[in-house]
Structure 1
Amino acid sequence: MIDYIKGKVDRLETTEVVLEAFGVGYSLQISLNTYSALRGQSDTRLYVYEQVRQDAATMLYGFSSCDERDIFMLLLGVSGVGGATARAVISAYSPSELQDIISSEDTRALKSVKGIGQKAAERIIVELRDKVLSLGVSGGSSNDIVDGITIGAKKELSNEAISALTMLGYSSQQAHKAVSSIIKAEPDLPVEQVIKKALKAL
């Protein structure tokens, strides 16, 4: 089992990073929180979760903190929650925010994430309420390190946000409408914040 990979950031996208370590490039699926943590970094260490799919292919997920990986693994343990849905949840909320949401039984916040309905939200709360409290998740969010790069009128960043949302399961039309509305209202938001707001609005 791979616990973590330490290496050079070869390619970074909103939903994926390629880390090069000892001449091998590892493709890891990432959340928006991890994306924020990696921006501007040339070398990093990501904690890893290996998921073996039904077709025997292995999917690697990378996390900037153990807290995020722990929350992701707990979510996977809930019936009906797969890797894509778990990643959408940890993209919408930081580990500390999720701890608060689950502890306070805020089903509405969970239901704002694509793939989470009323029953799934209730299952997450019932099954994870005690477990998240025992994790000792630290306060604060990885969003605190965002470097201030803004979207403004830059079309490429708008496209990046739309691309990330489609990767998370939304249609291009849904993503475009949500992103356009958010950028119009708050033109100086960094791309990951636009995506987070869109995830909660869609």
Structure 2
Amino acid sequence: MISRIRGRAVDWHDESQSVEIDTGSEAGGLVYEVRLPTAVWLALEDNRPDVLDLFTHYHVPDRAPVPVLIGFLRQTERDFFRKLIGVPQMGVAKAQQALAASVSTIAQAIEAEDRRTLTQLPGIGARQADRIIADLKGKVIEEAMLVDEGFDTQTRRPVRPTDDIAADATEALLTLGYTRRDADRWIAAVLSAPDLDPPSTTEDLLRAVLEHIGSTPWTRAPPVRGKQSQATRGGRGGGWRGRGGRKVGGGRGG
């Protein structure tokens, strides 16, 4: 079992939130790909150090017997991760994504039965939050009392709204003529902003996205190719139609 890795970071992979680490000398050695939980990735992505020293969790999936290494900056993080993956229907991949806040923040939410905080973690819905609380309450008291350990307290936490809100915001931006790639990129940037309160409605999320790209909400038309989209016209009763035909936004036009 591989419990710790130290070496040169030779490549970073944004899509999979992973880093390749060369453990050999200058002549080269074994190169390991290590996946990083969201908070660890965010703590490292800005400066991307040349040398990494990571505590690791070794995992072999049942369906695809290819070993996977999950890396952590501190042993505390790894210990908490191992408790989290023991929760029913959690799994290594989901836990890797969900660890987007400090260990103490998540542990405090568990001990306080704070479903709202837990459901703001990526990939955690209401039912999964209930499972986490039921399984770990009383078992993470020490982690909940941590102050300067666990993930950096300044690490950005990408708090995401429900899937429906994000999906409706994407559809609205597509209706306005933006590409899906841009829509996904802008929504991700807004949701990962450290000083933004979590949007509770599609309208809030859209307004934040439009402000992010330098537009004035509801009035400035985007670069739509062809005919003007109905969503950009002024007048009463405007707005977009989200999933299932329900109205998103609206009100007075510019």
After TM superposition, the structure 1 = structure 2 runs for residues 39-188 of structure 1, keeping only pairs within 5 Å, are 39-54=47-62, 55-90=64-99, 92-135=100-143, 138-140=146-148, 141-142=151-152, 144=154, 175-179=184-188, 182=190
Larger radius of gyration: 2
Q: Which amino acid aligns with 2:74?
A: S
TM-score by length of 1: 0.69
Partner Cα distance (2:97, 2:199) in 1? 10
TM-score by length of 2: 0.56
Match for residue 26 of structure 1? 32
Deviation, structure 1 residue 96: 1.4
Deviation, structure 1 residue 20: 0.8
5+ residue gaps, structure 1, are 147-170, 184-192
Q: Which amino acid aligns with 2:76?
A: D
CA distance 1:200–1:84, change in 2 (3 Å):
farther
Superimposed CA distance per residue, residues 137-174 of structure 1 (whole angstroms, 9 cap, x where no aligned partner): 6324425489xxxxxxxxxxxxxxxxxxxxxxxx9687
Match for residue 11 of structure 2? 11
Partner Cα distance (1:18, 1:102) in 2? 33
CA distance 1:11–1:117, change in 2 (3 Å):
same
Deviation, structure 1 residue 99: 1.4
- Select the structure with the greater relative contact order (CA < 8 A; seq sep ≥ 6): 1
Deviation, structure 1 residue 9: 1.3
Partner Cα distance (1:25, 1:127) in 2? 36
Aligned residues: 167
Q: Which amino acid aligns with 2:4?
A: Y
Partner Cα distance (1:173, 1:113) in 2? 23
